[in-house]
Amino acid sequence: MLKKLSLVLSGAVMCLSLNANAAENWRVWNIHNDGHPNTGAMDLFADMVNTTTAGEVKVEVFHGGVLGSQPDALEQVRLGAIEVGNFNLGPIGPIVKEANLVSLPFIFKSVPQMFRVLDGEAGDIMSKAMADAGILPLAWFDAGARSFYAQKAINTPDDVKGLKIRVMNNNLYTSMISAMGGNPSPMAFSEVQQALKTGVVDGAENNFPSFKNVGHYEVTKNYSMSEHLIIPECICVNTKKFNALSPALQAAVRGAAKGAALYQRAMWSVQSGQARAEVEAAGIKVNEIADKGPFQDAMVKVYDEYLAANPDMKKLVELARATK
Binding-site residue total for ligand GTR (CB under 6 A)? 11
How far is 299 from 292, CA to CA, in rounded Å?
11
125-149 per-residue burial string, b: 16 or more CB within 10 A, e: under 16: ebbebbbebbbbbbbbbbbbbbbbb
Nearer to ligand GTR, 26 or 189 (CB): 189
How far is 7 from 139, CA to CA, in rounded Å?
45
Q: Which of 166, 301, 295, 175 is nearest to 227 (CA)?
A: 295
Nearer to ligand GTR, 130 or 245 (CB): 130
Nearer to ligand GTR, 189 or 245 (CB): 189
Residue of the chain from 100, 103, 155, 210 that contacts ligand GTR (CB under 6 A): 210
Verify binding: residue 239, ligand GTR, rule CB under 6 A.
no
C-alpha dihedral, 90 to 208 to 179 to 200, nearest 10°: -100
Question: Which one of the spans 40-48, 202-210, 283-291, 298-306 is the region binding ligand GTR (CB under 6 A)?
Answer: 202-210
265, amino acid identity: R
- Contact between 163 and 150 under an 8 Å Cβ cutoff? The reply is yes
Q: How far is the CB of 233 from ligand GTR (least distance, A)?
A: 6
Report residue 144: phi and psi, to 5°.
55, -145
How far is 253 from 275, CA to CA, in rounded Å?
30
The interface with ligand GTR within residues 81-100 (CB under 6 A) comprises 88, 90
Measured at the CA of 86, the angle between CA 80 and CA 90, to 5 degrees, comes to 100
Q: How far is the CB of 88 from ligand GTR (least distance, A)?
A: 3
Nearer to ligand GTR, 167 or 320 (CB): 167
Question: Which one of the spans 2-10, 128-136, 203-211, 262-270 is the region binding ligand GTR (CB under 6 A)?
Answer: 203-211
Going by the DSSP 8-state scheme, the letter that residue 83 receives in this structure is -
Q: How far is the CB of 211 from ligand GTR (least distance, A)?
A: 8
How far is 294 from 164, CA to CA, in rounded Å?
20
Residue of the chain from 39, 53, 70, 127 that contacts ligand GTR (CB under 6 A): 70
Going by the DSSP 8-state scheme, the letter that residue 92 receives in this structure is G
207-238 per-residue burial string, b: 16 or more CB within 10 A, e: under 16: bbbbbbbbebbebbebbbbbbbbbbbbbbbbb
Nearer to ligand GTR, 53 or 271 (CB): 271
Nearer to ligand GTR, 189 or 306 (CB): 189
- Name the 3-class secondary structure at 62: strand
Q: How far is the CB of 73 from ligand GTR (least distance, A)?
A: 10
Verify binding: residue 206, ligand GTR, rule CB under 6 A.
yes
- Contact between 46 and 80 under an 8 Å Cβ cutoff? The reply is no
Question: Which one of the spans 7-15, 53-61, 99-107, 204-212 is the region binding ligand GTR (CB under 6 A)?
Answer: 204-212
The interface with ligand GTR within residues 103-162 (CB under 6 A) comprises 143
How far is 210 from 90, CA to CA, in rounded Å?
15
Nearer to ligand GTR, 31 or 163 (CB): 31
- Contact between 138 and 250 under an 8 Å Cβ cutoff? The reply is no
Verify binding: residue 189, ligand GTR, rule CB under 6 A.
yes
Nearer to ligand GTR, 114 or 249 (CB): 114
Interface map 23-52 toward ligand GTR (x if CB under 6 A): --------x---------------------
User: Interface residues with ligand GTR (CB under 6 A)?
Assistant: 31, 70, 88, 90, 143, 168, 189, 206-207, 210, 233
